[in-house]
Amino acid sequence: MRNHFSIFLLAFVFFMSTLQVALAHKVNIFAYVEGNTVFTESYFPDGKPVEGGVVEVQDQKGVTLLEGKTDEKGLFHFSLPKKEDLTIILNATMGHRNTFLLKGSEM
């Protein structure tokens, strides 16, 4: 019985340590369209804005259409390059990365 508890405890500690690493690399990006401009907002789970994060915009075929950087408030905007589904990729510091799919039907 004691051996089973030790195995459970080791598995639990391993699970918690990997969960903490996974949460540490989370970052959020949100995008919306107003007129002919796409606005993005990027922030970490604690609400801190992503400053200087690289934003890449790709078309449906994965071709990069443009790149830019977020400002001190985690904001970035650009003129709408195409009226089709766009994948907006955020690369922040230390491996933080996320994507947002902006549907062509929302434009």
Encode 67-100: b = buried (16+ Cβ within 10 Å), e = exposed.
eeebeeebbbebebeeeeebbbbbbbeeebebeb
Rounded-to-10 torsion of CA 34, 106, 45, 71 = -30
Structural domains in the chain (count): 1
Cα separation, 69 vs 85, in Å, equals 21
How sure is the predictor about 7, in pLDDT bands with cuts at 50, 70 and 90? low
Mean pLDDT within 28-37: 96
Is 2 within a domain? Answer: no
> Residue 30 falls within a domain, yes or no?
yes
Q: Specify whether the CB–CB gap between 58 and 65 falls below 8 A.
A: yes
Q: Quick check: 13 pLDDT over 50?
A: no
| Residue 1 belongs to a domain | no
CATH of the domain at 52: 2.60.40.1930
Would 14 be classed as within a structural domain? no
pLDDT for 25 equals 64
